[in-house]
Structure 1
Amino acid sequence: MLRLAILRHAEAVPLTDESDAERELTPTGRDMAERMGRYFHDSGLKPDLALVSPARRAKETFEGLERGAGDTFTVDYLPDLYSADLRTLEDVVAEAPPDAKFLLLVGHNPGLAELALVLAGRGNKSELARMRGHFPAPALAVIDFDVDTWRKARRGDGQLEHFVTRHVLAK
């Protein structure tokens, strides 16, 4: 079995004169990233490898997640994850190292939302519907695949195990 966690970055400051890649998290975003980390800890989620967009808001989300989890994860910052479309994200997953049985992607919409939607073909119907309705900042989809290599993870074959948004984290 393989597990993929798809995490959209937490709330970032609005775009100003700075480059989009340099946008930082808001105070609420930093808090939500740490809460997401506590969710990881409490749920026993420990990825083998995190692939993270090099954009500041994605890096800060990942760092907050680690703080909240009270753990560190192996990470690789992939330029391809910044503004990645669905096809690029599918390629990133397919090319993941075979020893990474639990892979975490941290990046941006619309690509991450599209990836979660096309991969998760099964799961709790209300959670699937909620995910189809909105993939906010932050949002986490954890999808399990009954395969042994990432290249075999196909559209619609995944089982949605967790869908977590700020509303769940605020409780």
Structure 2
Amino acid sequence: MDNIFAATSAVTQLGVASVVKHADVGRVSNLVVLRGRLWVSPASDPHSLQCVASADCGKRCGKRLERERVCAPVEVQLGALGYVEAYVDPFGWLIDGHRWLSQLCMDHAAQGFATVSGPELRPFHGERDAAYIRSYRIDARFDQAEPTPSVCLVG
């Protein structure tokens, strides 16, 4: 449970939105919080995104961005819009948001390799991505007596 509270403070400090103290590892979301913003992954789980750097033979590298699952699924409140489920770095330092947004594996991130294609993550947009938003909470069991603060989305 400590990781969920750490994720709450990390996301609130980033100014994205408030995180509801709830996580269910069995759920999968296309959404991920990186560098203070909400992003949509074309993959059903952002952990399965693959490196877009050019390998030796000119083909796409294809390695996963992380060697293991590093983000925790939590409910994020988007102010008055409602709630979404997104992956959040539980400590705020486990993943390199810039590397993820560039969609490069650890082997290609620091070496300036050419890319075969552009990154596939795209910024979350309230109207275009309305299907992800719910007006209700999935699980209020972890609510505290004081309300979870809500802040506006960045950008």
TM class by shorter chain equals under 0.3
TM-score (norm: length of structure 2): 0.26
Write 1 or 2 for the structure with the bigger share of helix.
Answer: 1
TM-score (norm: length of structure 1): 0.25
Larger Rg: 2
Write 1 or 2 for the structure with the bigger share of strand.
Answer: 1
